[in-house]
């Protein structure tokens, strides 16, 4: 069992929390206003309390500059920990907020004492925790500068149903840019299919 803190209380945060609880982890949600989020199915605490609780802390905020400032405000509580970043910052018009970098890179720069790992941002929230919804899992990507942190995140992905063969390590946190920019293709594919529950798979040459 791992202590997992999820910063955010939206759909992605709640979905990840459900998946983590289902697989035996101790989960809290972090909110700027926990008193008004007592209607949720999981304990809701302040962002600082959540960051202190989690062995793995998940960033499920919108990924805007306010999100970065929020996480930077709890830098001492995040020191030495793994920050699993699943965010893609999009405008209401579904355009990328960050054109020449990624939220993952920005967070790693703002939190040099924290081990940022980017993953799960190339799919719908339901697929993040239940790849069995698909005919085959497809590929889940990981980006991060710390190999040990990626191994720990890989263990959590395994719990969610992502086998090692489905996990592709892209390299350092700079590669998170490609993951986040995939959102533009995701929107196009979802529009063409009329559905959001799908994934892509990297197929190697024979």
**CA 155 – CA 168 distance, rounded (Å):** 13
Pairing relation of β-strands 44-46 and 26-31?
A: parallel
Mean per-residue pLDDT, 23-46: 89
Question: Does residue 1 carry a pLDDT above 90?
Answer: no
Task: Give the residue with greater pLDDT, 89 vs 157.
Answer: 157
Tens of pLDDT, residue by residue over 67-77, are 899 999 999 99
Mean pLDDT of the residues in the chain = 94
Query: Smallest Cα–Cα separation from 143: which of 190, 104, 98, 112?
Result: 104
Residue with more model confidence, 130 or 36: 130
Give the per-residue pLDDT at 65.
82
Q: Give pLDDT, residue 40.
A: 82
Q: Say if CB 37 and CB 31 are below 8 A apart.
A: yes
CATH number, span 3-193: 3.40.50.720
pLDDT confidence of residue 67 = 87
Tell me the C-alpha distance between 206 and 95, whole Å.
36
3-state secondary structure 107-145: HHHHCCCCEEEEECCCCCHHHHHCHHHCCCCCCEEEEEC
Query: Tell me: the pLDDT tens digits for 109-123?
Result: 999 999 999 999 999
Structure-model confidence comparison of residues 66 and 75, the more confident one:
75
Are 38 and 44 within 8 A, CB to CB? yes
Q: b/e for 76-92, b at 16 or more Cβ within 10 A? A: ebbeebbbbbbbbbbee
In this prediction, residues 32-37 reach a mean pLDDT of 84
> What tokens appear for 75 in the block?
């830098």
**What pLDDT is attached to residue 191?**
96
Judge contact between 46 and 11, C-beta under 8 A. Answer: no
Split at pLDDT 50, 70, 90, the class of 93 is confident
Under the banding of pLDDT at 50, 70 and 90, the label for residue 34 is confident
Q: How far apart are CA 113 and CA 115, in angstroms?
A: 7
The burial class, CB within 10 Å (0-12 / 13-18 / 19+), for 18 is: middle
Indicate the DSSP class of residue 179.
Answer: H
Using alpha carbons, select from 18, 15, 70, 21 the residue that is nearest to residue 47: 70
∠ CA 25-31-32, nearest 5°, is: 160
- 148 pLDDT more than 80: yes
| Model confidence band, residue 106 (pLDDT cutoffs 50, 70, 90) | very high
All structural domains of the chain with their residue ranges: 3-193
| pLDDT at site 150 | 98
What per-residue confidence (pLDDT) applies to 70? Answer: 95
| Burial class of 184 by CB neighbour count within 10 A (0 to 12, 13 to 18, 19+) | middle
């Amino acid at each position: 069992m791992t202590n997992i803190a999820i910063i955010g209380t939206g759909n992605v945060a709640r979905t990840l929390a459900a998946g983590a609880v289902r697989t035996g982890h101790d989960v809290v949600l972090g909110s700027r206003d926990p008193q008004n989020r007592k209607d949720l199915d999981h304990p809701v605490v302040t962002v600082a309390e959540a960051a202190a609780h989690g062995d793995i802390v998940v960033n499920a905020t919108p990924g805007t500059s306010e999100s970065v400032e929020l996480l930077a405000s709890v830098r001492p509580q995040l020191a030495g920990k793994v920050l699993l970043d699943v965010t893609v910052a999009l405008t209401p018009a579904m355009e990328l907020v960050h054109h020449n970098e990624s939220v993952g890179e920005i967070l790693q720069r703002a939190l040099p004492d924290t081990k940022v790992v980017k993953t799960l941002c190339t799919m719908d929230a339901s697929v993040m925790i239940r790849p069995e919804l698909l005919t085959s899992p497809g590929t889940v990507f990981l980006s991060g500068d710390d190999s040990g942190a990626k191994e720990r995140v890989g263990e959590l992905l395994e719990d969610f149903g992502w086998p090692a063969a489905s996990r592709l390590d892209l390299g350092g946190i700079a590669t998170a840019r490609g993951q986040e920019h995939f959102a533009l293709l995701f929107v196009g594919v979802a529009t063409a299919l009329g559905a959001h529950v799908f994934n892509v798979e990297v197929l190697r040459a024979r």
